[in-house]
Amino acid sequence: METLKILTYPDKFLSEPTKPVENIDEKTQNLVKDMASIMYQAPGIGLAAIQVGINKSLLVYDISPRDEKRSLQVLINPRIVESEGTTISEDEGCLSVPDFRANVKRAAFVLVECFDNKEKPLRIEAQGLLAVLLQHEIDHLNGILFIDRISSLKRGIYKRRVKKNLNNK
């Protein structure tokens, strides 16, 4: 534990598609625990395994309000089976893209099929914040970052900033 850390852009690993989880075994449960603690510590509301260097189709999230009890959700091998409408997510951000936010065009409604960590099949109908979060996290599992979905002009501004910071190190 605590050997995992959050990878950030431009780490090439973040653009790799992930492999399906084949066994929800003890190793998977330990990964879920580690990812949850990293996410809460960050703090963030969602985290995909690829962001901590694990090439598996698994994500965790918790969108419960901060003053309420934690409600960790674990999605294994999730896929979007239906999507409808469009919305613009305001100030979308990502733990792997620090210090940058942007509005992103997203589907307004999604239907996601997956398993939870007790091997129970789930179907999640989502809109609003949850729909955006699921699209963002499932994008990670396909090697896509939210900055891949904004205009090349805006992306260029961020890329130049990152390059400058790397050169100054």
Q: Which residues bind Ni ion (CB under 5 A)?
A: 94
The residue among 13 and 25 lying less far from Ni ion, judged by its C-beta, is: 13
- Write down the least CB distance from residue 96 to Ni ion, Å: 5
Instruction: Determine whether 113 is an active site residue.
Output: no
Q: Which is nearer to Ni ion, 98 or 128 (CB)?
A: 98
The smaller minimum CB distance to Ni ion, of residues 39 and 94, is found at: 94
Tokens representing 146 are 């939210």
In the bound state, the residue with its beta carbon closest to Ni ion is 94
In the bound complex, what is the minimum distance in angstroms from residue 26's beta carbon to Ni ion? 26
Report in angstroms how near the CB of residue 93 gets to Ni ion at its nearest. 8
User: Please, which residue, 47 or 69, has the CB nearer to Ni ion?
Assistant: 47
**Which two tokens mark 85?**
């409408």
Q: Please, what is the minimum distance in Å from the beta carbon of residue 136 to Ni ion?
A: 5
* Contact predicate 39/31, CB 8 Å: no
Question: In 3-state terms, the chain is what percent helix, strand and coil (to 5)?
Answer: 35, 30, 35
Sign of CA dihedral 81, 82, 86, 92: negative
Those residues with Cβ within 8 angstroms of residue 143's Cβ, 6 or more apart along the chain or in another chain: 14, 15, 16, 17, 18, 50
Cα separation, 68 vs 7, whole angstroms: 29
Which of 90, 92, 119, 137 is the catalytic position?
A: 137
119: phi then psi, degrees, rounded to nearest 5: 65, 20
Residues labelled catalytic: 137
